[in-house]
Amino acid sequence: MDLGIRGRTALVLGASAGIGEAVALALAREGAGLVLAARRLEQLQSVARRATELGASTARAVPIDLTDEHSIESSVEVLQREVGAIDIAVLNGGGPVSGKFSDVSLERWDDAYRLVLRSMLQLTAALVPVMRRRRWGRVVALTSTSVKQPIDALVLSNAFRTALVAALRTLASEVAKDGVTVNCIATGRVDTARLRSLYQGDEARLREAAAEVPIGRIASADEYAPLVAFLCGEPARYVTGQTISIDGGLVRGLFG
C-alpha cells in the first residue's frame, strides 16, 4: 500500500534505537523526509544513513533532551529555520522510573512530568499550528498499555501517559476539520532496552512476561512499526482520536 507520504517531512522522537528507529525506517521506506531526534547523536546519524539507503527523501539527525525545555525550544527553532514545516510528528520518549505510589518522591513526579507529559505537549503546541495552516498533519504518540490497564509498580507511567492521551484526545477534536489527525498507540511488551531494564535483564522474568501475552511472546519493534506508519499516511485520514493497542492481546478489555 502506498501511504501517500513521499516527500512529507516526519519528526520521529527517540529514533536512535528500538521502536523509534523501527518507525523511522518504516517511514523511510515510504519515501518520507526524516528528522530523527534523540540525545545520542552518533546513533541518530547511523539511523539516518540507513534511512537514506531505504528510500528516505532526506534524513537528518537533531539532538534533543526531552527533560530540558530549553533543549526542546532550541530544537524547534532549528527545525523551523532549517527544515521548515513538519507534516508528521511521532511522539516517542523514554519511560519514567518504576516504582509504587508509596515509594516515589515528589521530585520523581516532577521528573516524570517533564519527560512524559510536558515535553510532548511543548512539541505538539509548537508543531500543530503549522499543520493546521497547511491543512494536513499527523500526530502519533507512542504510549503504553498502562493508559488502558494500569501496570503495577509503574505509577508514574500510569499517571502521565494517561494524561498525555487525554490531552491529545481533546486536541484531536479541535483540529480534525483542519486535516490533522491525532492518535495514540498503547504499547505492549516490545523487545527494547526499556523493557529489559524493567525486568532487570532477568531472562526468566522475561519469559514469564512473554507467557502472559495471549500470542505467547514479546513483539519485535519491526512488528510494531507498520501500524504507526499507516496512521501517518493518507489512507488513515479518517482515523483520529483513537488509542490503538499493539500488545498481542495483553489488555483484556472489550475495547482494548
For 51-96, write each residue's pLDDT tens digit: 999 999 999 999 999 999 999 999 999 999 999 999 999 999 989 9
Do 131 and 176 contact (CB within 8 A), yes or no?
A: no
Helix (H, G, I), strand (E, B) or coil at 254: coil
Which grid coordinates are listed for 161?
Answer: 501517559
Residue 88's H or E segment, with its range, is strand 88-91
Give the whole-angstrom CA distance, residue 99 versus residue 30: 39
Which grid coordinates are listed for 167?
Answer: 490531552
Quote the pLDDT of residue 120.
98
Give the whole-angstrom CA distance, residue 143 versus residue 59: 24
**201 falls in which pLDDT band (50, 70, 90)?**
confident
Is residue 2 pLDDT above 90, yes or no? yes
Quote the pLDDT of residue 35.
98
Angle at 176 between CA 171 and CA 181, to 5 degrees: 75
Provide the mean pLDDT of the chain.
Answer: 96
Q: Is 24 exposed, middle or buried (0-12, 13-18, 19+ CB in 10 A)?
A: buried
Is residue 199 pLDDT above 90, yes or no? no
**137 falls in which pLDDT band (50, 70, 90)?**
very high
Angle at which helix 18-29 crosses helix 41-54, to 10 degrees, equals 30
Which grid coordinates are listed for 131?
Answer: 499543520
Q: Which CATH class is domain 9-246?
A: alpha beta
Quote the pLDDT of residue 47.
98
**Does the global pTM surpass 0.85?**
yes
Which residues does 201 contact at the CB level (< 8 Å), separation at least 6? none
